[in-house]
Each structure stands twice: as C-alpha cells, then as structure tokens.
Amino acid sequence: MFRVTTGGNYSRVLSNIMLAQQRQMDAGDKLATQKNGSDLKDYSRNAEMLTAMRSVDSRLGGYLEQNKMITDKLTTQDFSLSQLGDAAASTKQAIEEAIATGRTDTLMQEVEAQFRNSVSAMNSRYGGKYLFAGGKIDAEPVTAQSLSDLTDPLTPAISDFFKNDDFITEHKVDDATVVRTGLLASDLGTEMLTAYKAIQAFHESTDGPLTGTMTDAQRTFLEQQLKVWDQAASNVIDKTARNGMMQARVEGVKKDLTTRQDSLKEMIGGIVDANMPEVTIHLEQATLALQASTQVFLTLRDSSLVNMLK
C-alpha cells in the first residue's frame, strides 16, 4: 500500500514542471540556432568524427582559397602572353606589309611600338609583383626601354637585359597535386629580343636605314626575318596554350575540391544541424507538457486539505 501525501504530490508535480521547462528550453534553443548543440560535448557520441571532418573541411577551404588566387594569376599571365603573342604577330605583319608595298616608311615606328608592347607584357604585375621575374618579384625582369638599347655596345648580350632569376613558382593545389605556374621573362623574350636586335642592327648598318623605298638588300633581309618572326610567334602561342592547360587543370581540381567540401558539409550538417520539423514538434510537446503540469499543480493546490478547512 502506497502512502499518498500532499508533499509527495507537490514534489512529483514540481519535478514534472521543471523537466517540461528544461525540454521546452532545449527545443527553443535548437529552434533559434537550428543546431543540435553549441559545443562538442553536445555531440559527445560523434565528437571525434566531427573534429576530423571539420579539420578536413578547413584544409579543403584553404586549398580553394589558394586555387582562386592561382586562377587569377594564371588569367593575368594569359592576358600578358596574349599581348606578347600579338606583338610578335604584329611585327611579322608589319614586315609583310613593307615587303608587299616595297616601302619601309613606317616600318621602324611599328616595330618600335611592338617592341614596347613586348617589354610591357614581360614586365606585367599581379598583386604588385612582377609575374615573370622568378624570385626577384620586386624588380622589372626586362630593362630594355627602346630598340636602340639593344644595340648599345655597353650591353652586347641579350641576356644583359633580363634580370629575372631561375626560380619557378610551384603551388600545391590539393593533397596530391603540385603545379608549376611560374614563367620566366628570359624564357619568353630572349628569342623576340634577339630578333628585334637584328632588325635594329640592320637599320643602323650600311644597308640601312629602313626608310623610304626598299632596296634589294633590305628585301632579302626582311624576307629572312619573316621566318624568324613566324617561329617566335609560334613559340609564344605554345606557351600561351600551356598556360591555358594549367588553368584548366587548376579549375578541374577546384571543382573536385568544391564537390568534396559540399559533400563534407552535408555530412557535418547531418550531425550538427537540427531537424526543424522534429524540433518544432518537440517544442509543442514540451509546451503542452508544461501547461499540463502547471494545471495539475494548480488543481493540487486548490484541492489541498488546508483549502478545504478554510
């Protein structure tokens, strides 16, 4: 036989009220934050796995940020290489037009302009640093300013005009892939500057200058130069294509990383994200339980022996 007492009844009802309040608070917190907890202890059963997944997610995020920077750099390189290729093609076209017309009135002005475009392309910057300078990112990799610099007796070698070193930039784009994104001005421009120097030297020679009506000697020289510039333009196109292939490779890695990160975030969400329809039902149940417990408490209070004796 169980003994029923007013004190015992109050104790049980108050316990139910406190439990319902706690459940209501827990459901309310989940509804507000849309999370199952606020720290790892709330996910004790999955804490180790959750920590590991967040570590991987952080690493993937780091790779994605770096790949964005690499993509931007390669895009800038592509623009500069295209500019260099256009300069080579335009120089060849100017020579072809001179041969076709038999006159060289504006040939050297056009060659000078394309030379400056070439130097500008090789001295391109990204993020305030010279793209094609190797490790010497704070100094212009090409110092020649005009065609006449190339024939200056004080700088007899073309290599004297290149100040880049041999450092080739490499980047790790994911856990298993390293790409070489760096290009050197000396590799890009030695052939072209040598060809520009040949034109300037001929212009300054006894067979020059390249102005007015073309002589037989000038025609022979310029026809020989067409092959040189055709090869120079082809080589720049090849380097541009290689840069494009690198862009495609980095973009492919970026897509793979994004897919992996999205999948990982979904897995993490399966642990930490609250099931909102379920949380809403729990909140309603807890509210009803609290109301019921409160009503029982009020009923018990009104039916106590003290109230009956009043």
Distance CA 179, CA 171 (A): 5
- Whether residue 231 lies inside any domain: the answer is yes
Is pLDDT at 183 greater than 70 in this prediction?
Answer: yes
Give the three-state DSSP class for 174.
strand
- Whether residue 32 lies inside any domain: the answer is no
Query: What's the pLDDT at 262?
Result: 85
Is pLDDT at 122 greater than 60 in this prediction?
Answer: yes
- Domain with 128 in it: 70-254
- Whether residue 141 lies inside any domain: the answer is yes
Enumerate residues 6+ apart whose C-beta is below 8 A from 18. Answer: none
Query: What's the pLDDT at 89?
Result: 96
Return the amino acid letter for 125: R
Classify residue 164 as left (phi > 0), alpha (psi -120 to 50) or beta. Answer: beta
How many Cβ atoms from other residues are within 10 Å of residue 96's Cβ? 14
Is pLDDT at 13 greater than 90 in this prediction?
Answer: no
pLDDT-derived band at 1, boundaries 50, 70, 90: very low
Query: What's the pLDDT at 221?
Result: 97
The predicted-structure confidence for 34-56, as pLDDT tens digits, reads as follows 555 555 455 455 556 667 777 88
Read off the pTM. Answer: 0.73
- Whether residue 87 lies inside any domain: the answer is yes
Structure tokens at 220: 């022979």
The predicted-structure confidence for 254-303, as pLDDT tens digits, reads as follows 999 888 888 887 776 656 554 455 556 555 665 665 566 566 556 655 55
Distance CA 193, CA 88 (A): 10
Q: Are 227 and 198 in contact (CB under 8 A)?
A: no
Distances (CA, A) of 84 to 16, 145, 186, 189, 232: 80, 15, 13, 9, 10
Maximum Cα–Cα distance across the chain: 135
- Whether residue 180 lies inside any domain: the answer is yes
Q: Are 167 and 135 in contact (CB under 8 A)?
A: yes
CATH number at residue 90: 1.20.1330.10
The predicted-structure confidence for 97-114, as pLDDT tens digits, reads as follows 999 999 999 999 999 999
Return the amino acid letter for 75: T
Distance CA 162, CA 186 (A): 6
Distances (CA, A) of 252 to 174, 241, 266: 11, 16, 21
Q: Which range has the worst mean pLDDT, 107-116, 160-169, 301-310? A: 301-310
**Consecutive H or E run containing 246:** helix 216-272
Number of domains forming the structure of the chain: 1
Percentage of the chain exceeding pLDDT 90? 55
Structure tokens at 310: 């009043």
Q: Of all residues in the chain, what percent are helix, strand and coil, respectively (each to 5)?
A: 70, 5, 20
What integer is the mean pLDDT of 53-74? 88
- Whether residue 107 lies inside any domain: the answer is yes
Query: What's the pLDDT at 103?
Result: 95
The predicted-structure confidence for 231-264, as pLDDT tens digits, reads as follows 999 999 999 999 999 999 999 999 998 888 888 8
Mean pLDDT, the chain, integer: 82
Query: What's the pLDDT at 35?
Result: 59
What integer is the mean pLDDT of 2-29? 56
Quick one: 127 exposed, middle or buried, by C-beta within 10 A (0-12, 13-18, 19+)?
exposed
Percentage of the chain exceeding pLDDT 70? 70
What integer is the mean pLDDT of 30-36? 53
- Whether residue 287 lies inside any domain: the answer is no
* Cα-trace Rg, the chain: 39
Is pLDDT at 172 greater than 70 in this prediction?
Answer: yes
Distance CA 213, CA 229 (A): 22
- Whether residue 136 lies inside any domain: the answer is yes
Query: For the residues of 93-106, what is the DSSP string, one character each?
Result: HHHHHHHHHTB-TT
Return the higher-pLDDT residue of 164 and 8.
Answer: 164
Closest CA to 142 of 117, 107, 170, 112: 117
